[in-house]
Structure 1
């Protein structure tokens, strides 16, 4: 079904500073795999990535081939290339992540759920043609999940992934040196599950180059066993790590040594792998959802550092209960959220992007005007359902221009890693500048 766009005439309090918001634009790319949510999971870092005046995109087509594309920003014309690489698209964990380094080379990692590393990069700056599959460091590359790229201010890259399985994995960090054209190991075990648990993380690289990481713990494959929200940051490109107080961690970080931004018990419908951001002072903001004690309804929350203490904002607009109990990729009536914190205003404000069956599974945004006063408004950015879509976006374009470019595709998701009998659907980019 074609996704229409809605003119956004309302004022985005705080973020819009009194100016009317321009309309949403939706740009077609090509048809893509839609039998599950593998193209549209929240933990893709990134689905879209910009460098200079060029934006890149990656997705699986109907035959599970990786398709790469690029366009000049401001245009609707995409140059697309179907690569020789395929993935097990039937497993929604096996998403594609891309990033462009400071020299203009595209990097790609794809098709992982406890699998050997799949990694390749562009043969030249700006090229969609990739090298043969290659190792990075050759260390701990036999059981990779959740690959994520981050571009540092100097143009070098960080690459994060889980080494090991659900319930017993460790967080690995590699660093790419543009000048040397080579990867090196930064940490083989930044956050250790000690063979008993693993950390499901979300990370954010802020405007100063500080890397923020937060995570929930899980001791088993059961999603409902997620618990607690921990935090760490690095001010030197991932080498050393500290708590929000500045106290330096002894590595690896464990359940006993971690700083906790929020204590959340198991069986609270706490979801894993969401998103985070930071304000202009470098204070972290973590978006997630869970069900508070005494309630049957999971709500979106933002856990944030306010000066010397951690605070929480419960958005509390949902009414329908659901359960996360079970294994694999779940068919969930809401998406995991993406949060973008504005760093221009005197007081922090934010956008929280989500999808909720209560709102017709449209692309929706909660505009948080004031965290302390607990003021926000909710509106839809599309008229039609996005299916089981979750938000991922062009992080570099947001940092540079404050322009939101969301990867958009109407996809299905069958509970417990199943696949739907669905035809390919149109891959699109939702483009909106909320200022």
Structure 2
């Protein structure tokens, strides 16, 4: 082991944190529903989104109505508008997701857990006034869960969702065309559970427009049946798919023909629906957690592609065991993580996890590694107070364009198995970390 290298990496990480901490501030927005974690679940795509000089935000208020907000980037004051849409906020699956298309129209989807599509578009570009609820394609829209928007480099949108139920659902992918103002189904059954399982996915787009997709399989409703981490990518907007080595997939992708970035057995406390990101060179990184064989404590892991080979970094800092089993939204002592990644001037791969852990008093926490090949992670809390059962979501477009990290933050609490607690509304905030990517180099 090269201890000189490890000492240098650790020193650089500490210096980075010390300098970068000066670039963090918190901006208050309003008050949101806090009786469960529906405003702060990791699979919101997105809770915050920027386009040109504006940033948008969405959340449920104390009465479970959708609240939309807008501000000019760099300003602290928000313009807020309560929409006519109301959701079943008591179910933490029923989050709000949104995206702005290349013409500036806001697209909104909310309140889904195996029910009919709820979707609307703003009446004008950069407006908070939404049109009526409408259909997208009219196909496979009756059992929608986990809606996610992504903006392609040409301004068109992708919309991903599960059609079906836990343990027996398929992944649907629609695309919105700016010229025609219409949605088309690109894939009606991209990942096929074959009626026996379903894929819980996470996705991202890189700067070249490649869609990266990874997922765990679940064999039934019980979260303990999660297993393995599979991967696919598309370089043509979702029409065709290939492995990390460029081998074309025969669609739909199934458990038998999927590429596995990491094999993980069932009953490993493997969580579903976490996050992934790609660096400027198009290398994918996946963040999740599970318990290694013959170990008792679930640990955060980063699965990433380097030199066309899948690698795994075990952060290994946790000390408290827990068991992950049962149905519904679970009360878990750690958050599903978000991951950011970039290449440094020395062509080393750097990554940062954003998470929340009861071992760290449920604060907003980060783990930084400036050289994944060395695997040295430095931990730092970036909030002073507990955020309860919060999970991280951030402005993906602002990160891509400017390297600024804007996190949606609200203190929430989650009762086990889709319950709710009697919490009053809590402050919705945006934690801003300016020039994070730039200051890390």
SS in 2 for 1:22: helix
Structure 1 residue 23 displacement after superposition: 3.4
Give the alignment of 1:316-331 within 5 angstroms.
Answer: 316-331=316-331
Structure 1 residues 328 and 18: alpha-carbon distance in aligned structure 2, compared to 1, 3 A threshold? closer
Is there any run of 5+ residues in structure 2 with no aligned partner, and where? 1-9
Task: Name the residue aligned to 1:249.
Answer: 249
Q: Deviations over 1:86-115 (max 9, x none)?
A: 000000000000100000000000000001
Q: Deviations over 1:173-229 (max 9, x none)?
A: 000011111111100000000000000000010111110000000011111110000
SS in 1 for 2:109: strand
Per the normalisation by structure 1, the TM-score is 0.96
Structure 1 residues 343 and 138: alpha-carbon distance in aligned structure 2, compared to 1, 3 A threshold? farther
Structure-2 separation of matches of 1:183 and 1:100: 15
Structure-2 separation of matches of 1:56 and 1:349: 29
Per the normalisation by structure 2, the TM-score is 0.95
Task: Name the residue aligned to 1:13.
Answer: 13
Structure-1 separation of matches of 2:210 and 2:219: 29
Q: Is residue 2:53 matched to residue 1:78?
A: no
Alpha carbons 1:302, 1:314 under 8 Å: kept: yes
Structure 1 residue 281 displacement after superposition: 2.3
Task: Name the residue aligned to 1:3.
Answer: none
Structure 1 residue 347 displacement after superposition: 1.3
Task: Name the residue aligned to 1:286.
Answer: 286
Q: Deviations over 1:67-94 (max 9, x none)?
A: 0000111011000000010000000000
Structure-2 separation of matches of 1:21 and 1:414: 33
Structure 1 residues 155 and 15: alpha-carbon distance in aligned structure 2, compared to 1, 3 A threshold? farther
Alpha carbons 1:280, 1:344 under 8 Å: kept: no
Structure 1 residue 15 displacement after superposition: 10
Structure 1 residues 420 and 18: alpha-carbon distance in aligned structure 2, compared to 1, 3 A threshold? closer
Task: Name the residue aligned to 2:106.
Answer: 106
Task: Name the residue aligned to 1:275.
Answer: 275
Q: Is residue 2:373 matched to residue 1:378?
A: no
Alpha carbons 1:14, 1:349 under 8 Å: kept: no
Q: Deviations over 1:9-37 (max 9, x none)?
A: x9863995996543321111111000000
Alpha carbons 2:277, 2:286 under 8 Å: kept: yes
Structure-1 separation of matches of 2:145 and 2:14: 38
Is there any run of 5+ residues in structure 1 with no aligned partner, and where? 1-9
Alpha carbons 2:344, 2:350 under 8 Å: kept: no
Task: Name the residue aligned to 2:424.
Answer: 423
Structure-2 separation of matches of 1:253 and 1:400: 32
SS in 2 for 1:398: helix
Structure-1 separation of matches of 2:28 and 2:41: 19
Structure 1 residue 343 displacement after superposition: 4.1
Structure 1 residues 12 and 220: alpha-carbon distance in aligned structure 2, compared to 1, 3 A threshold? farther
Q: Is residue 2:345 matched to residue 1:349?
A: no
Task: Name the residue aligned to 1:387.
Answer: 388
Alpha carbons 1:15, 1:349 under 8 Å: kept: no
Alpha carbons 1:11, 1:18 under 8 Å: kept: no
Alpha carbons 1:15, 1:350 under 8 Å: kept: no
Task: Name the residue aligned to 1:147.
Answer: 147
Structure-2 separation of matches of 1:380 and 1:12: 17
SS in 1 for 2:431: strand
Give the alignment of 1:134-173 within 5 angstroms.
Answer: 134-173=134-173
Structure-2 separation of matches of 1:402 and 1:120: 30
Give the alignment of 1:212-227 within 5 angstroms.
Answer: 212-227=212-227
Q: Deviations over 1:383-426 (max 9, x none)?
A: 11000000000000001111000000000000000000100001
Structure-2 separation of matches of 1:23 and 1:11: 19
Structure 1 residues 173 and 333: alpha-carbon distance in aligned structure 2, compared to 1, 3 A threshold? same
Structure-2 separation of matches of 1:140 and 1:87: 21
Structure-1 separation of matches of 2:329 and 2:343: 34
Structure 1 residues 104 and 45: alpha-carbon distance in aligned structure 2, compared to 1, 3 A threshold? same
Q: Deviations over 1:138-176 (max 9, x none)?
A: 000000000000000000000000000000000000000
Task: Name the residue aligned to 1:404.
Answer: 405
Give the alignment of 1:83-98 within 5 angstroms.
Answer: 83-98=83-98
SS in 2 for 1:246: coil
Structure-2 separation of matches of 1:150 and 1:214: 15
SS in 1 for 2:377: strand
Structure 1 residue 279 displacement after superposition: 2.4
Alpha carbons 2:14, 2:378 under 8 Å: kept: no
Task: Name the residue aligned to 2:3.
Answer: none
Structure 1 residues 12 and 366: alpha-carbon distance in aligned structure 2, compared to 1, 3 A threshold? farther
Structure-1 separation of matches of 2:180 and 2:261: 38
Mean alpha-carbon deviation: is it higher for 343-352 or for 183-192?
343-352
